[in-house]
Amino acid sequence: MGGAGVTGTFVGMPTFPVAARRALGDAQLRHNLGQATATIRAKRQRLVEEVDAAVPTSAADPQGLGGWEALRRAGAAVKEAALRSLPEHLERLEAELVANGATVHWARDAAEACSVVAAVARAHGVREVVKVKSMVTQEIGLNEALEAEGVAAWETDLAELIVQLDEDLPSHILVPAIHRNRAEVREIFLRRMKEVGRAAPDGLGDEPAALAAAARSHLREKFLSARMAVSGANFAVAETGTLVVVESEGNGRMCLTLPEVLVSVVGIEKVVPTWEQLDPMLRLLPRSSTGERMNPYTSTWSGTAAGDGPGEVHVVLLDNGRTRALADEVGRQALRCIRCSACLNVCPVYERTGGHAYGSVYPGPIGAILNPLLNGVGHDDQVDSLPYASTLCGACFEVCPVRIDIPSVLVDQRAQVVDAHRGRRRSGEAVVMRLAAATLADEGRLGFAERFTGVGLRAARRGAGWPGLRRWTGARDLPRPPRESFRAWWRRTGGGTR
Amino acid sequence: MSAREEVLAAVRAALVGVVPAPDPPRAPQVRPPRDVVAHFAERVADYRAVVERCARDELEARVAAALAPASTVVVPPGLDLAVAGAVEDAGLAARELEEFEAVVTRARVGIAETGTIVLDHGPGQGRRALTLVPDRHVCVVAAGQVVLDVADALAVLDPRRPQTWVSGPSATSDIELERVEGVHGPRTLHVIVVDDAQPLD
Ligand code: SF4
């Protein structure tokens, strides 16, 4: 992972506007993302309405907020309470984990966390570990760190497997391989599975069911032989020392259950104070994330359990910039994030550029604030460009299950970027203008304020140019569009839905 | 300073002058449906799991029918059901579990609103691997174990026990968002709701 950044912006990534412009040229990516986000949005919306209908207005919701709004307020309050009293919850979590038979490690940064995991692998002499999809292990660059120690880390989530086999980068928190279609997945499996384990069957078709079956048999072999697993956690319950992993495929259960040794890397912001407070979280996350009432599998464990699952359980509590974010009065709320990806799915910028353009593990609106918060601004133009990767339309705030006011944080981060650059050779505005120029170079000199959000702007223009064209898949080389600002277009068209 | 001390000190420093938040409000609870067990069955079926209801005296026959496609069956210690030809798990290795086509267990609680069964891996439920490796999971839930929503389940569950919350068969939508059932967990989930009021505790 690159440079000084604690979240490891991808090595050699261009700044957002440049990467976004490239991504805009990729019709396949745009098409896949458009379909994916529209599908998930619709499913989520149905469930929001279902919760609204199921919660009686008077008793359970005295303020008349509606069931979903009351639920997300409860979720936001749980995480906010956890963050504001974090020291006591972390100490409680540690004490409970230890009492339950787990070993607790603390890590200031990515390198420290990776070295803890590597040391456990070394102590057991393992050359392979199986992994549950986890953003935090990607954040710390764990796979690369283990590889450098001669330990192969196998991703076991289907999408992560596709990305890993292809030596590619994930493009979406939830569906990291959304930029690949079935034919491409088939080709990747046929070419690569045999090099690293059980080969894909001859005559493999490209139906998703056949591809999933190939992944099942390829990975089953790894699950049955692996002696060590690495996971993250969605929640860490302080009061009981319980970790929670939410998943769909069952690869998580395999990793958490079959190997002898389990290491979980947990950001310190994952704390939930009490077991009962999982109530809003477990109701909000799957509905916001995959648009399901509940995800297929949720595993909870509190240290070790006699005769069931790994006999050795480690938990690495990770800072890596989180305390920096915690100290930011406006930005602190970003640590409430439960990584549901709902904000990505409603973001007009994300929909049109894909995740790669953000150059980071955390893409989309949440990435646009989280990366600068974790890394600090003023060191890295890629990170500094992210707070501008937005149109401030507010859709992300509306869907966020823990009510993170992303637009307000973005505005604050922009101010911080400008401040950080003041006194450097280039002024903040100069940097910003340079980035803007990269996007808008071929489009003439335009007013700055509304124009800088170049990606959304182009979306706006195309939407305005062809009123009937909702997803501009395949649209290229468009005539010069009318000059309508993105926000104006967004308001007029309801975000391109009209 | 150790990493522990340094992280905790940084957390404290970040929160200087920050007042603790008030206790979070209780999350809003849904209105109970007229028949919570029927609601549970509907919601389980929404996940494309097989679900059926039966009386206590029909249970063993229903279980046998649900197992019919499988010829090798494993059951956990402490299962209060007779399953013909089943092998009781006595710490089988994962590779040995692979040899079984189906597993029959009880559950700890059923959640109606979300169509979820929760196993706490106590007697009759088996350790976690038992309901993971075989391809067909037949799960018996007593009507009396069904609660309304997540909060009611959390209230009866013991967090010290490992738990598996199961909502339908394993699934992925990773390839072009097309839903595929059965990636790693059991590809078939068959829930039998038996009409007896097995107490929750
Ligand atoms: S910021 Fe909110 S909507 Fe976005 S991923 Fe995090 S929790 Fe979900």
Q: Report residue A263: phi and psi, to 5°.
A: -120, 125
Torsion angle of the four alpha carbons B118, B121, B125, B129, in this order, in degrees rounded to the nearest 10 = 100
Q: Which of A349, A402, A403, A410 to mutate to test the pocket of ligand 1 (most atoms within 8 A of CB)?
A: A402
pLDDT at position B80: 94
Residues A216 and A180 in one domain: yes
Nearest C-alpha neighbor of A77 from the set B22, B28, B29: B22
Is A242 strand, coil or helix?
strand
B128 to A268: CB separation less than 8 angstroms, yes or no:
no
Ligand 1 atom at shortest distance from the alpha carbon of A173: 5
Select from A389, A407, A424 the last residue of a domain.
A424
- Measured CA to CA, the distance from residue B17 to residue B30 in angstroms comes to 38
**Best to test chain B binding among A282, A317, A332 (most B CBs inside 10 Å):** A282
Interface contact B166, partner A, CB < 8 A? yes
A242 within 8 A of A274, measured Cβ to Cβ: no
- Measured CA to CA, the distance from residue A459 to residue A439 in angstroms comes to 13
Asked if residue A385 belongs to a domain, the reply is: yes
- Measured CA to CA, the distance from residue A89 to residue A394 in angstroms comes to 32
Q: Residue B180 is part of which domain span?
A: 35-194
Q: pLDDT per residue over A207-264, tens digit each?
A: 988 999 999 989 999 999 999 999 999 999 999 999 999 998 999 999 999 999 999 9
Nearest C-alpha neighbor of A343 from the set A290, A397, A281, A412: A397
Is the distance from the beta carbon of residue A129 to the nearest atom of ligand 1 less than 6 Å?
A: no
Is the distance from the beta carbon of residue A418 to the nearest atom of ligand 1 less than 6 Å?
A: no
- Contacts of residue B80, defined as CB under 8 A and 6 or more positions apart, other chains included, come to B106, B124
Tokens linked to A140: 């710390």
Q: Residue A480 is part of which domain span?
A: 428-493
Domain of B86, CATH number, reads 3.40.50.10420
Interface contact B175, partner A, CB < 8 A? yes
Residues A233 and A364 in one domain: yes
Strand partners, A305: A308
As a whole number, the mean pLDDT across chain A is: 81
pLDDT at position A160: 84
Q: Are strands A235-237 and A228-231 parallel, antiparallel or unpaired?
A: unpaired
Tokens linked to A306: 């006699």
B94 contact residues in A (CB cutoff 8 A): 223-224, 258
Ligand 1 atom at shortest distance from the alpha carbon of A342: 3
Asked if residue A323 belongs to a domain, the reply is: yes
Tokens linked to B201: 């505790």
Enter the DSSP assignment of B101.
S
- State which H helix or E strand residue A58 sits in: none
Asked if residue B189 belongs to a domain, the reply is: yes
Select from A390, A424, A458 the last residue of a domain.
A424
Is the distance from the beta carbon of residue A407 to the nearest atom of ligand 1 less than 6 Å?
A: no
Residues A144 and A270 in one domain: yes
A124 within 8 A of A261, measured Cβ to Cβ: yes
Angle, vertex CA B153, rays to CA A283 and CA A261, nearest 5:
80
Strand partners, A338: none
Q: To which residue do tokens 């391989």 refer?
A: A177
Asked if residue B96 belongs to a domain, the reply is: yes
pLDDT at position A16: 62
Residues A10 and A138 in one domain: yes
Ligand 1 atom at shortest distance from the alpha carbon of A396: 3
pLDDT at position B171: 81
Backbone CA torsion sign across A223, A227, A231, A236: positive
Asked if residue B201 belongs to a domain, the reply is: no
Torsion angle of the four alpha carbons A430, A435, A439, A445, in this order, in degrees rounded to the nearest 10 = 0
Smallest Cβ–Cβ distance between B29 and the set A60, A249, A278 belongs to A60
Asked if residue B8 belongs to a domain, the reply is: no
- How far are the Cα atoms of A103, A358, A469, B86 from residue A497, in angstroms, in the given order? 51, 25, 10, 56
pLDDT at position A463: 30
Domain of A360, CATH number, reads 3.40.50.10420
Enter the DSSP assignment of A305.
B
**CA within 13 Å, CB half, A498:** 7
- Residue A18 — very low, low, confident or very high, per pLDDT cuts 50/70/90? low
Residue B54 has pLDDT above 90, yes or no: yes
Number of domains in chain B: 1
A251 to B3: CB separation less than 8 angstroms, yes or no:
no
pLDDT at position A62: 66
Asked if residue A212 belongs to a domain, the reply is: yes
Asked if residue B39 belongs to a domain, the reply is: yes
Asked if residue B164 belongs to a domain, the reply is: yes
Q: A203-212, A323-332, A429-438: which has the minimum mean pLDDT?
A: A429-438
Tokens linked to A338: 């439960």
Q: Which of A345, A366, A409 to mutate to test the pocket of ligand 1 (most atoms within 8 A of CB)?
A: A366
Residues A324 and A435 in one domain: no
Asked if residue B20 belongs to a domain, the reply is: no
B183 contact residues in A (CB cutoff 8 A): 158, 212, 215-216, 248-251
Residues in chain A: 498
Nearest C-alpha neighbor of B185 from the set B130, B139, B145: B130
Number of domains in chain A: 2
Is the distance from the beta carbon of residue A338 to the nearest atom of ligand 1 less than 6 Å?
A: yes
Is the distance from the beta carbon of residue A233 to the nearest atom of ligand 1 less than 6 Å?
A: no
- How far are the Cα atoms of A25, A36, A37, A207, B179 from residue B176, in angstroms, in the given order? 20, 7, 11, 10, 9
Asked if residue A446 belongs to a domain, the reply is: yes
Question: From ligand 1's centre to the CA of A238, what distance in Å?
Answer: 22
Asked if residue A219 belongs to a domain, the reply is: yes
Q: pLDDT per residue over B166-184, tens digit each?
A: 999 888 877 877 788 878 8
Asked if residue A498 belongs to a domain, the reply is: no
A142 within 8 A of A265, measured Cβ to Cβ: yes
A254 to B184: CB separation less than 8 angstroms, yes or no:
yes
**CA within 13 Å, CB half, B33:** 19
Smallest Cβ–Cβ distance between B6 and the set A108, A176, A211 belongs to A108
Enter the DSSP assignment of A70.
H
Asked if residue B21 belongs to a domain, the reply is: no
ipTM of the complex: 0.96
A175 to B177: CB separation less than 8 angstroms, yes or no:
yes
A60-90 burial code (b ≥16 CB/10 A, e <16): bbeeebbbbbbbbbbbbbbbbbbbbbbbebb
Residues A203 and A345 in one domain: yes
A307 to B14: CB separation less than 8 angstroms, yes or no:
no
Q: Whose CA is nearest to atom 6 of ligand 1?
A: A337
Question: From ligand 1's centre to the CA of A400, what distance in Å?
Answer: 5
Shortest Cα distance from B118 to chain A (angstroms)?
9
Ranked by mean pLDDT, which of A5-19, A31-45, A155-169, A243-257 comes out on top? A243-257
- Measured CA to CA, the distance from residue A467 to residue A465 in angstroms comes to 6
